Copies of this chain bind each other. A is one copy, B any other.
């Protein structure tokens, strides 16, 4: 399996969403040009990205929307569901339990944990907040595949360590802190402050 760049994978994810849109509109065929336009990139980029995984189009014609969507679904592993645990029942954690896009793509939030005694036992959109101290059993019981960290910065690393102990191999981290994990564990970051600060930089520096 050749190494595929991160940016390609992320664009695949975007193509996938664009294809969903096209299906909703009843469109059956799409060109790399159209797809590129929808995602704000170039058509060569679209074709190159897809070419890493196979040849899905017909020359002179384009791509069949439904079948391309199915292909990408397979590539990204979205033909199945993934069990997700959220750590941190604060504002962000609670909001994510209800995030529609997760549900639609087969990410099932099965567990929300916190260490705060005042939060444990409370209901959050149909889930009961569980004690993070029991992370090992809980992760096993619910067969969790992916963990989302939504705790304050200072707790992020200790939480990650415990998740790794519990056997988690994939983490999405909302805390603005870089995590150290073994190399068979993948961490992705959702760093809202970083994006805001890019905007701040831009606003400060345009003439």
Contact = CB atoms under 8 A, between A and B. Distances in A.
A135 to B, nearest CB: 18
Interface string A174-207: 0011101000101011111111111111111111
B99 A199 contact: no
Given A39-B178, A177-B17, A203-B146, A196 B92 contact: no
A118 interface: no
Interface majority SS (helix, strand, loop, mixed), chain A: helix
Interface residues of A, number: 65
A56 interface: no
Interface stretch (A5-13, A44-52, A59-67, A158-166): A5-13
Interface of A: 1, 6, 9-10, 12-14, 16-17, 21, 38-40, 75-78, 82, 84, 91-92, 94-96, 98-102, 105, 107, 145-146, 152-153, 169-172, 176-178, 180, 184, 186, 188-207
